[in-house]
């Protein structure tokens, strides 16, 4: 009979002084400096402040000016020093939005004036975040910049909803698309998007949910395909609506932005793999204890 070999002994405990020295060395090793006249394009991740990278947090605390979007959570904004100049350049349906050209110009102006500039976006700035467009403007203006990636919402929100993007039994690929499209100018390859045994993650798709549902079914996706809408993924207010593809347009009316639409067989694992406690679940548990 096979036996389990003895595990290696634990690492020798360090003294408090050694631990403090290790932390100082780590801080010095990882602490990049945001230079004056430079723009740091930062991915904030989907909302949970603990998902920020160390470099993202460091640059947010070094910046003189932070230009931010509506998708950056309050918990992350609270990590920025009070002395920092905050400029909201978000875009939101039905609300006053800052035009993209204005945002581009603000980045150029602040950097030209010698400020340390952080441009923070929800998720990852290179995945449906217009990060590339903004950096092109900076490059044309001769302004130095850095990119600090973030956890994209598709990976973060699905993980917190208990939905693996790929699974050997259910999905051999995952596709990310934007639902921010015009029906009359739709050039999406719906035949490819409607294939089975793959996970389709749709950003900004609530307003076009009826069109998306119609096209997927029309091009072969079964009406009974498992579906999830994840609202405010990874945050305490996270809300997950589960159903089938035939329910998409109806469920979309119960959700608010920011939300992700997830279509695919992997969604059936959501209840089994659910692990994240939302604000609503914590409240219910507290009420039970009180009783």
**Hey, which residues are catalytic here?**
69, 91
Question: What are phi and psi for residue 262, nearest 5 degrees?
Answer: -120, 125
DSSP state of 32: -
Residue 66's Cβ-side half-sphere holds a number of Cα atoms within 13 Å equal to: 27
Contacts of 99 (CB under 8 A, 6+ apart): none
Nearest to 67 by CA among 105, 35, 95: 105
CB-CB contact of 145 with 116 (8 Å): no
**207 CB-contact burial (10 Å; exposed 0-12 / middle 13-18 / buried 19+):** middle
Distance CA 80, CA 62 (A): 9
| Residue 22: count of CB within 10 angstroms of its CB | 11
């Amino acid at each position: 009979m096979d036996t389990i070999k003895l595990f290696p002994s634990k690492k020798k405990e360090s003294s408090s002084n050694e631990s403090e020295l290790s932390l100082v060395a780590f801080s010095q090793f990882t602490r990049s400096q945001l230079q004056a006249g430079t723009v740091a394009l930062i991915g904030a991740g989907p909302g949970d402040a603990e998902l920020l990278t160390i470099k993202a947090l460091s640059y947010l605390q070094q910046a003189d000016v932070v230009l931010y979007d509506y998708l950056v959570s309050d918990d992350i904004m609270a990590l920025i020093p009070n002395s920092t100049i905050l400029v909201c350049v978000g875009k939101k349906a039905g609300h006053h939005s800052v035009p993209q050209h204005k945002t581009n110009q603000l980045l150029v102006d602040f950097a030209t004036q010698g400020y340390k500039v952080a441009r923070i976006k929800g998720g990852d700035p290179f995945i449906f975040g217009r990060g590339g467009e903004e950096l092109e403007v900076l490059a044309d203006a001769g302004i130095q910049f850095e990119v600090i990636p973030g956890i994209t919402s598709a990976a973060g929100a699905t993980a917190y909803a208990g939905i693996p993007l790929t699974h050997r039994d259910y999905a051999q690929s995952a596709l990310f698309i934007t639902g921010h499209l015009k029906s009359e100018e739709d050039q999406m390859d719906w035949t490819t998007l409607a294939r089975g045994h793959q996970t389709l993650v749709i950003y900004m798709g609530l307003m076009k949910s009826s069109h998306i549902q119609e096209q997927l079914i029309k091009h072969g996706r079964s009406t009974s395909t498992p579906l999830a809408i994840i609202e405010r993924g990874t945050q305490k207010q996270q809300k997950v609506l589960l159903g089938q593809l035939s329910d998409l347009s109806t469920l979309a009316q119960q959700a608010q932005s920011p939300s992700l639409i997830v279509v695919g067989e992997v969604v059936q694992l959501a209840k089994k793999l659910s692990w994240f406690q939302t604000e609503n679940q914590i409240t219910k548990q507290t009420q039970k204890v009180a009783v």
